[in-house]
Structure 1
Amino acid sequence: MYNSYSQRVHFYYCVLVAVKMNNKKNASANVRGKNNFLMKWLRNAQNNNLFHSDINSEIEWLRKKIITSGPDADLEPMLQYVYETSQRASTMKQAAQQGG
């Protein structure tokens, strides 16, 4: 898993940007619409190999999470949390590598 933390940070950053852009474009969209957009975006990302192969497990996990949470679950706060956590882990790993 080459540089998996920074890959994960990049992936979740891209997911959040796509969701926020979709929210602006479709200001009146409900949570189901957001989830439909997210499922299509994830399928497109996976089918077109837009991210490193290590990220495929993240994409699969996220798709399953959307399905099991139900169509009315707003997952945007969870995406933000995962992004921030991955970003902190990446920063800590880089600091440890530079210090040791």
Structure 2
Amino acid sequence: MGDLTELAGSLTTHGQKQVITVMNRDAYLKANPGLEADLEPDTTHVVVDGSSRLAAAREAGLATIEIMVSDDQGATPRKSSNPPSSPTSTAKTSRNSTKPAHCNAS
């Protein structure tokens, strides 16, 4: 993922400007069959857009981040200026793993 020092510093100084998009575990696995082994057993949500921001938030020591749950992202993330409408929530960032970026939303 590279050096996240600058992004972590920006998150600390300016705050989070863009939400991190996640999918519920079941929706992610439906869209990506065969990838269950890549997930930690307790994973409830999988990051589909914003893995670097999540890692930088962890590096910066942020306790929570803003997320948007979007189960219709599918296997290929959409590139659009109009993100899907979905409620924004927060998620804890206290997870370290070498597996796909994930979070446990609260």
The answer, yes or no, to whether TM exceeds 0.5 is no
Larger radius of gyration between Structure 1 and Structure 2: 1
Higher relative contact order by CA 8 Å / sep ≥ 6: 1 or 2? 1
More strand by share: 2
Q: TM-score range by the shorter chain?
A: under 0.3
* TM-score between the two structures when normalised by the length of structure 1: 0.26
